[in-house]
Structure 1
């Protein structure tokens, strides 16, 4: 169970996992160490001053880490040591007061829930850097960090009890139906709504964003940071900055946030709805993020109607909006074949009751689509849009969850937590798209909206041999129950393609929808 850490520490915020010990600072591996320097405050330091530091460990592993201006003459280089041991650094800058500064730190072994950043593993899946499996089941709160403090803290309290381990969130505020309030802070200096100096950032805005990302980290939640989005339409103008302003903003936000191990980059939400930009602009901006980030954090871009070319090698996974594909595993699995990297259906439409067709799924349908994504060897994303008199809808502002799907998604997450570490793979995707697992060892069979009273036991032939023995459990994905079947099933080859129970038995089922089977090989 995730624990809720005191939210009233926002004012007295301190970076996690780092401390001074004698003359040499210490920082946990994958924690955050800050090199803080005093420098020029005159002119425009955001554009006039360049700062970076080169870090090296005793094995001569090197990282070039960009710095940033944090206001009031304060310059920062944030470093997250990717390995334990001694690290040294030396700064480079066009400002003499910042150039040639050197130092060292000791990266200690990670403790507690620090498993490192999430990385791609086994082609289509994820794990933390220390090898601990990570199975993303996320949710969306686009503009939760642009709300009043009390609402942000309510969101964190809800997340502390929810099953989600990833949160899609925007840097910029959002202006859309049910979400038209002005935020407390803006990313640039200037005057709301649209008189901004895109050459001067507002450090207070980013300091607040960083605190909330650390709050998520303490809850074990990955922050899928959406860098740009179209839900502005010129009101603030953040959706139609110049190429120069876009690139400067991206370099600044990456320099500030990349050291946090729970940060992912999403270049945009519904990128193709930002009509001021061409696909070549997105290619350029993806490269800017990639070149600026010394840690190679997970990176994606999210579509509206037009799919981006996710074969781009700078993208680590594909973030897909397609509710239709999530309705049936045989459709969802095709994205794996096309892009050959992890597939996250970050938007499969939302549970709720708003009039828009993308936000009025029943809870049963939301849970069903999550299971279909899982049996396709892909990963789903939750969202919720229930109308409220105060216009606080989870999908945009956070707050509290009202739907019935989160409890059932928790049951799904618990099911995944005891699945094989290598990840769930479609077993015979073109013939039996509702069967996923590890061939010969472990299977999930999902029946969805069908309501059979029995299922003739069979498994695709891969990695099986006559005499293999399996236990079976019936999972009711809606009522969240697990019912073991008393008998075991011993298989024999029936044809070129399948094995069946050697005496032809079937698995009894309750004749209700939303049922699944968990089939596990019994060691002999």
Structure 2
């Protein structure tokens, strides 16, 4: 029997299955490139066949495959495990565990109640624990987690100054009914709180503007400590305030090294115990999230992805939910966390749209503090109108044209648009990883004047850099996955763009009525920015709105701003250098 988890090669080699492939996937099955897809899962390949975007047609395809082949199919998924109602007997006094209360906690810091409790059996699945917090006249439920060695933790985000009280609830008698009081005091200097949606843009909880100038280093926390520290040093010197990163390790091009540890206890060779998490692994992840917070960087955590050799992409519904509850309970107390349900959701062969809706509901149930949440596509775009989705997280939809769709997407979904993957500056052999710094910068500008935000990534092949990106024995350290050092020319230009946006009233640009050949953005009636991109005019006649305006010529690549003499009304001829990547900014002065 063939199903979503079967490989393309297995199906091709079976005559009956091949006939089905040729009927439903003709462009793939008959392609000269079919050999490169042999190890791909059928559940992944359907994402590149437009006809199978129709869910009914997709189900007919898999139903036909299920009727052919030999064998009993895949083993059943692991079932859900209910907490053990008899984990502690009646002889254990209720609320007898020892509670360690935190010192006064600054606003926006994690507020952590630690409990010394029982450790017999398997507390990861045997024990359920949560706490009801009361603060500021409101009541919230926060789930607890087992941190190993008999320690249980309930971690909240200190989002309200004042006195908090709590009472625990647990299936373990010693953990049930514990009470306490904690104080939340003024925020640390420079702490602005979690990022939320502000119309079609973003701002921190204290009202500070947030522009998600982001980059990607998928597997940086799964690398040796020396390389992780190098990544933090690079981020400290760069313009980025958001980092896309995976909870699970990654197996893909330039990602062959084996991590030292994993979210679950176990190894690739010996297998994994999906009923036991590795608290030490998560404590190291938490330290990295805290390190990012100290740099003012949001950790955009990718909860699932398909680039896997350990079985994490196909755990089954029960284990998926167990994993999500543990991750969200551990990490939702950090102000700088965003959730991304998946990187390229449509490539996860074991999940369909109903699964993503179910899993997103689990995140919503466990996150009492409403962190931002979205989902990222490979080819078919998710329905970002779904109420649980706070913002659009999209990758390129065309080899060239993506950022140009930003204003259209804003109108379609009524949510902020973040193009988290527009391709990567680099020189590897993959088309998604060899655009120039000029092209990366151009895509940032195209998205910006249309009211959105474009994400960065870098994929320069290390040998071409004379080994400069290498750390230790690994000579395949590409920033986009492992972090390390940046070598491209776009980050400085991205910082320049961000500086210009920060100068706008309220710190954001929105799309404005444009010319047929030039998009304009800014703040209506106050600031207008026109971007010429790859065009290279020698001059431009600009019609100004009513009032008096200052006119500036911006070299987006040379990072210069040159003001025309005097103030201007009506129409002005703006002389330009006949180079690509120029812009004009006009600012009303009366």
> C-alpha separation between the residues in 2 aligned to 1:330 and 1:215?
34
Q: Which residue of 2 aligns with 1:269?
A: 343
Task: From 558, 561, 581, give the equivalent of 1:479.
Answer: 558
> C-alpha separation between the residues in 1 aligned to 2:202 and 2:405?
22
Given that 2:147 and 2:153 are in contact with CA atoms closer than 8 Å, whether structure 1 keeps it comes out as yes
Q: CA deviation at 1:191?
A: 3.0
Task: From 124, 133, 152, give the equivalent of 1:75.
Answer: 152
Q: 1:485–1:429: structure 2 CA closer, same or farther, 3 Å change rule?
A: closer
Q: 1:329–1:506: structure 2 CA closer, same or farther, 3 Å change rule?
A: farther
Given that 1:328 and 1:372 are in contact with CA atoms closer than 8 Å, whether structure 2 keeps it comes out as no
Q: 1:458–1:194: structure 2 CA closer, same or farther, 3 Å change rule?
A: farther
Instruction: Give SS of 2:103's match.
Output: strand
Instruction: Give SS of 2:165's match.
Output: strand
List per-residue Cα deviations over 1:123-147 (Å, max 9, x = no partner). 2100011111011110000000000
The farther-off stretch of 445-454 and 161-170 is 445-454
Q: CA deviation at 1:432?
A: 7.0
The farther-off stretch of 131-140 and 83-92 is 83-92
Q: CA deviation at 1:327?
A: 4.0
TM-score (norm 1): 0.89
Q: Which residue of 1 aligns with 2:142?
A: 65
Given that 2:403 and 2:444 are in contact with CA atoms closer than 8 Å, whether structure 1 keeps it comes out as no
Which one has the largest radius of gyration? 2
Q: 1:430–1:35: structure 2 CA closer, same or farther, 3 Å change rule?
A: farther
Instruction: Give SS of 2:175's match.
Output: coil
Task: From 504, 508, 519, give the equivalent of 1:423.
Answer: 508
Q: 1:29–1:477: structure 2 CA closer, same or farther, 3 Å change rule?
A: same
> C-alpha separation between the residues in 2 aligned to 1:452 and 1:102?
70
Task: From 548, 555, 558, give the equivalent of 1:469.
Answer: 548
> C-alpha separation between the residues in 1 aligned to 2:395 and 2:277?
32
Task: From 248, 252, 258, give the equivalent of 2:326.
Answer: 252
Instruction: Give SS of 2:506's match.
Output: coil
TM-score (norm 2): 0.79
Where does structure 1 differ by over 3 angstroms across 4 or more consecutive aligned residues? Answer: 323-330, 429-433
Q: Which residue of 2 aligns with 1:17?
A: none
Q: Which has the higher helix share?
A: 2
Q: Which residue of 1 aligns with 2:374?
A: 300
Q: Which residue of 2 aligns with 1:445?
A: 530
Q: CA deviation at 1:505?
A: 2.6
Number of corresponding residues: 479
What does 1:77-476 correspond to in 2, within 5 Å? Answer: 77-121=154-198, 123-193=199-269, 195-232=271-308, 235-322=309-396, 324=398, 327=401, 330-389=404-463, 390-421=475-506, 423-428=508-513, 434-459=519-544, 464=545, 466=546, 468-476=547-555
> C-alpha separation between the residues in 2 aligned to 1:108 and 1:221?
23
Q: Which residue of 1 aligns with 2:578?
A: 511
> C-alpha separation between the residues in 1 aligned to 2:406 and 2:482?
29
The farther-off stretch of 87-96 and 347-356 is 87-96
Q: CA RMSD in A?
A: 1.6
The farther-off stretch of 84-93 and 318-327 is 318-327
Q: CA deviation at 1:420?
A: 2.0
Q: CA deviation at 1:486?
A: 1.0
List per-residue Cα deviations over 1:6-46 (Å, max 9, x = no partner). xxxxxxxxxxxxxxxxx983111111121000111011101
In structure 1, the gaps of 5 or more residues are 1-22, 491-500
Q: CA deviation at 1:333?
A: 1.6
Given that 1:188 and 1:198 are in contact with CA atoms closer than 8 Å, whether structure 2 keeps it comes out as yes
